[in-house]
């Protein structure tokens, strides 16, 4: 399983199969379904794994988790094994699960990016980055787990991992149901679930306003709004690896949206026939969409700096009009200057960037 996960995590032009093993995680699936109130076909994979938890304890950890397989091979010094005891650490992973799912029910999963499959795939997204900061950020998650395993063996897998916590929570619910049927209830599971759910719900209601940014950031088509994107995106890098024109980059600003995908128009634009980013996104941060619907999905709006346009110097040029796949650009009389200049239709423009990258004098910007 480890080899298969690495193979599909690498940027090897897998198309819609890019990062396919992300869909094995029931933790990502549950957060996505609750937050978006929708179910996509591949979510069935994660839900099937969840069903296996009911019958087999720690099923995922034993047979499917690539991060766990790597951590199992990390040697730890004898002094670390002697000094550190897992018994002193509470099972934080279960609390993370309850809070995250409760927040997702209010539209904002809180810890979806802590899923071990997401962390594992984010590591391999470093191979498509262009800045040292993005590379370091992509590798930091898995590297941090390796360091943690070296000094505190077992802490992540048995106490902190939310996917492991989900497995333990399912086991607790199964035992709770069995004891209830036998009228031998000896657990405060209901109270713990209630406390964790209330905490998650409160945080989910407070965070969006704090994350609402005003920066001119362009996200992929059909993405969630900026505040939700920061919490729903797992940073797995599937969208970056699958983008055929390589216009998707990782956000390297030190904000809540760090490492989320943003659009940078340099050598390419968002193809009108492409919907790969929506198909490969396992969390729903980018909603699946049909290519034919892109004419109604606005990423941004093109804006022309008329003073820099070749037409303003009486030189012939209509590249922006010819390149626009949505017929959103026309050469029309400008009422202020009396010259024939490019005019962008706000109704038809979706901010795909085709006009921007074709402009010979770079006088077109796309605003979010």
Beta carbons of 218 and 351 less than 8 angstroms apart: yes
307 vs 197: which has the higher pLDDT: 307
What rounded mean pLDDT belongs to the chain? 86
C-alpha pair distances (Å), 112 with each of 4, 18, 233, 318, 359:
22, 19, 8, 46, 40
Confidence of residue 190 (pLDDT cuts 50, 70, 90): low
pLDDT tens digits along 265-303: 988 999 999 999 999 999 999 999 999 999 999 999 999
Rounded to an integer, what distance in angstroms lies between the CA atom of residue 215 and that of residue 171?
Answer: 44
pLDDT tens digits along 78-105: 555 556 677 778 888 888 998 888 888 8
Task: List 261's β-bridge partners, or say none.
Answer: 250
* pLDDT tops 80 at residue 211: no
C-alpha pair distances (Å), 53 with each of 49, 62, 165, 240, 357:
7, 11, 11, 32, 50
C-alpha pair distances (Å), 286 with each of 9, 111, 326:
18, 17, 22
**Average of pLDDT values for 209-236?**
80
Beta carbons of 261 and 240 less than 8 angstroms apart: yes
What is the reported pLDDT for 335?
79
Q: What percent of the chain has pLDDT over 90?
A: 46
Confidence of residue 122 (pLDDT cuts 50, 70, 90): very high
| The token pair that represents 288 in the structure block | 């699946």
What is the reported pLDDT for 366?
93
Rounded to an integer, what distance in angstroms lies between the CA atom of residue 212 and that of residue 15?
Answer: 32
* pLDDT tops 80 at residue 186: no
Candidates 117, 111, 107; CA nearest to 26 is 117
Buried b (16+ CB within 10 A) or exposed e, 265-298: beeebbbbebbbbbbbbbbbbbbbbeeeebeebb
Beta carbons of 342 and 320 less than 8 angstroms apart: yes
Domains in the chain: ranges and CATH: 2-214 (no CATH), 299-367 (3.30.70.20)
**Average of pLDDT values for 196-203?**
67
* pTM for this model (two decimals): 0.85
pLDDT tens digits along 123-178: 999 898 888 998 999 999 999 999 999 888 889 988 999 999 999 888 888 877 77
3-state helix vs strand vs coil in the chain, percent to 5:
55, 5, 40
Q: What are phi and psi of 329, to 5 degrees?
A: -115, 135
Lowest mean pLDDT among 187-191, 252-256, 330-334: 187-191
C-alpha pair distances (Å), 206 with each of 103, 113, 192, 202, 209:
10, 19, 22, 6, 6
What is the reported pLDDT for 16?
85
Beta carbons of 230 and 256 less than 8 angstroms apart: yes
Beta carbons of 104 and 35 less than 8 angstroms apart: yes
Rounded to an integer, what distance in angstroms lies between the CA atom of residue 342 and that of residue 311?
Answer: 8
What is the reported pLDDT for 193?
67
What lies within 8 Å, CB to CB, of 10 at 6+ separation is 124, 127
pLDDT tens digits along 242-255: 999 999 999 888 87
Beta carbons of 102 and 197 less than 8 angstroms apart: yes
Helix axes 92-105, 189-211, angle to 10 degrees: 60
| Distance between first and last Cα of the chain | 40
* pLDDT tops 90 at residue 357: yes
Strands 261-263 and 340-344: unpaired
- Round the CA-based radius of gyration of the chain to a whole number and report it: 24
What is the reported pLDDT for 116?
94
């Amino acid at each position: 399983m480890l080899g298969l996960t690495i193979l599909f995590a690498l940027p090897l032009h897998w198309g819609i199969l890019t990062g396919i093993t992300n869909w094995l995680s029931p933790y990502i699936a549950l957060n996505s379904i609750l937050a978006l109130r929708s179910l996509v076909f591949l979510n069935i994979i994660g839900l099937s794994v969840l069903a296996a938890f009911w019958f087999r304890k720690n099923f995922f950890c034993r047979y499917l988790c690539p991060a766990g397989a790597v951590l199992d091979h990390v040697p730890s010094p004898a002094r670390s094994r002697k000094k550190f005891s897992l018994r002193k650490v509470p099972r934080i992973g279960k609390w993370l699960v309850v809070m995250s799912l409760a927040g997702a029910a209010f539209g904002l999963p809180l810890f979806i990016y802590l899923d071990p499959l997401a962390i594992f795939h984010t590591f391999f997204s470093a191979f498509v980055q262009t800045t040292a900061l993005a590379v370091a950020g992509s590798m930091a998650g898995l590297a941090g787990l390796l360091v943690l395993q070296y000094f505190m063996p077992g802490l992540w897998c048995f106490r902190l991992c939310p996917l492991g916590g989900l497995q333990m929570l399912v086991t607790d619910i199964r035992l709770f149901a069995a004891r209830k049927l036998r009228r031998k209830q000896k657990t405060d599971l209901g109270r713990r679930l209630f406390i964790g759910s209330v905490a998650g719900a409160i945080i989910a209601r407070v965070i969006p306003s704090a994350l609402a940014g005003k920066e001119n950031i362009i996200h992929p088509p059909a993405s969630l709004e900026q505040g939700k994107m920061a919490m729903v995106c797992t940073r797995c890098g599937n969208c970056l690896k699958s983008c055929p024109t390589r216009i998707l980059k990782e956000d390297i600003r030190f904000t809540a949206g760090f490492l989320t995908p943003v659009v940078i128009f340099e050598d390419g634009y968002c193809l009108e026939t492409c919907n790969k980013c929506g198909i490969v996104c396992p969390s729903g941060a980018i909603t699946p969409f049909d290519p034919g619907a892109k004419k109604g999905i606005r990423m941004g709006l093109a804006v022309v700096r008329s003073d820099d346009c070749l037409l303003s110097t009486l030189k012939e040029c209509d590249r922006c009009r010819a390149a626009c796949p949505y017929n959103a650009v026309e050469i029309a009389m400008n009422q202020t200057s009396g010259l024939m200049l490019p005019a962008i239709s706000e109704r038809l423009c979706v901010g795909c960037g085709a006009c921007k990258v074709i402009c010979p004098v770079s006088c077109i910007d796309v605003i979010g």
